Amino acid sequence: MFLQNKIITIGKVSIKKCCLLSTQAIPITTTQKNGDINLRFEKGLPIVTVPLPSRKELCQFILRPVSDNVGTLCNSLSLEDKGIDFVAAYSIDGTRIANSTSIEHLLLFEKFNLRINDFVYTVVIPNNKNDYSLKTNEKAKTLDDLKLLIASLHASLNLEDFKISREKQLLKQLEKVTIELKPLEIIKNHIERECDKRSERVLWSFFMFLGLETGIFARLTWWEYSWDIMEPITYFATHSTVIGTFAYYLITRQPFEYSTLHGRTFSKKFHKLAKKYNFDYKKYNALKEHEKKINYDLERLRDPLNQQLPFQCLNTDDNILDKFKK
């Protein structure tokens, strides 16, 4: 803190004599001939011209309003002139301005005091036509606030109208795909019913064969012959079954299980009936994939969390699949 005792005005700059609030008053001498501090704006950047006390010459400093602060200016002055022992900025009422204060906020003052050693200069801030470009919003300095700012910008650019038009476009595509799938679904369901019956008949036939084999072995063991005669026969029958299952694996590359047997029988019969009924299963699979993709896009479009939009209730009539199912 310092107290103002005398003000000397030279040109645009007022030079003040002051004494510090300390036990011993430090005398402040008058300024040199080239003692003016000039602050001007060029291309939106503030440029300050400061007289250096050691070399008795003017030095120009270009400041960046956002990234630089008062401490940066003070350090630049100290590095430029080693004869500067003390440099600080003060408000007009004598309150010291913190070094962490940005140049952007410092330029909001009409004028401020700059002390270099024993000299105190009053720096007048001139009017800048582009001062709005120097002001930044502190709320936009974080990434989250920047995201919210971009989201609000999208909302102001009729994003809701684009979402509605995109939704209508997807619904039209879904309707077209559903119309193409409807006759294929009828043929597919008919083929699946026949294939399922075929697979069930194969499994029941295999079950009946196993039951018949068990009955024959039981008849021969307890009625026709004895166990001593039938034991090697049953052993070779079991061993033949193992060989048959291994041969099934070598041919199909699938384990011999009842579920895989049912699926293989179903698949073979399905391809035969597809040729018979001229069912294009490749086209059907492509349409189903396209339908799945459209439904996924609709789900993403209608999700308010993905688009950061307010929730919008959709009509039940928009579900094209429910229409055709009825």
Rounded-to-integer distance, Cα 151 and Cα 10, Å: 53
- 163 and 232 share one domain: yes
Query: Looking at the structure, do residues 248 and 308 belong to the same domain, yes or no?
Result: yes
Q: Is residue 212 part of a domain?
A: yes
- Cα-flanking dihedrals φ and ψ of residue 5, to 5°? -110, -45
pLDDT for 165 = 82
d(CA 117, CA 272): 100
Answer yes or no: do 243 and 309 share one domain: yes
Res 278: pLDDT: 85
Q: Same structural domain for residues 18 and 85?
A: yes
- In single-letter form, the type of residue at position 174 comes to L
Give me the number of domains the chain comprises. 2
Q: What phi, psi does 47 have (nearest 5°)?
A: -125, 120
Domain-embedded: residue 151: no
- Is 132's pLDDT higher than 60? no
Q: Looking at the predicted structure, is the pLDDT value of residue 12 above 70?
A: no
Residue 8 lies in a domain: yes
Residues 320 and 172 grouped into a single domain: yes
Min mean pLDDT across 8-22, 214-228, 234-248 is at 8-22
Q: Do 190 and 311 have their domain in common? A: yes
Same domain, 189 and 247: yes
More confident call, 204 vs 29? 204
- The answer to whether position 139 is within a domain reads no
What is the gyration radius of the CA atoms in the chain, in angstroms? 46
pLDDT of residue 149: 76
Looking at the domain assignment, is residue 140 inside a domain? Answer: no
Beta bridge partners of 165: none
Inside any domain, residue 143: no
Residue at which a domain ends, from 99, 134, 169: 134
Same domain, 218 and 108: no
Overall residue count recorded for the chain in this entry:
326
Q: Is residue 147 part of a domain?
A: no
Measured CA distances, 152 to 14, 74, 145, 158, 176 (Å): 47, 40, 11, 11, 35
- Structural domain boundaries enclosing 24: 2-134
Q: What is the rounded CA–CA span in Å between residue 116 and residue 244?
A: 103
Whether the Cβ atoms of residue 320 and residue 175 lie closer than 8 Å to each other: yes
Looking at the structure, tell me whether residues 262 and 297 fall in a common domain. Answer: yes
Q: What is the mean pLDDT of the chain?
A: 75
Residues 60 and 129 in one domain: yes
Q: What is the pLDDT of residues 181-218, one digit of tens each?
A: 888 888 888 888 888 888 888 888 888 888 888 888 88
The verdict on residue 68 lying in a domain is yes
Q: How far apart are CA 65 and CA 107, in angstroms?
A: 8
| 231 plus 98 within the same structural domain | no
Name the nearest CA neighbour of 16 among 104, 121, 98. 121
pLDDT band at 131 (very low <50, low <70, confident <90, very high): low
Among residues 85, 79, 82, which one has the least CA distance to residue 61? Answer: 79
Q: Identify whether residues 66 and 215 lie together within a single domain.
A: no
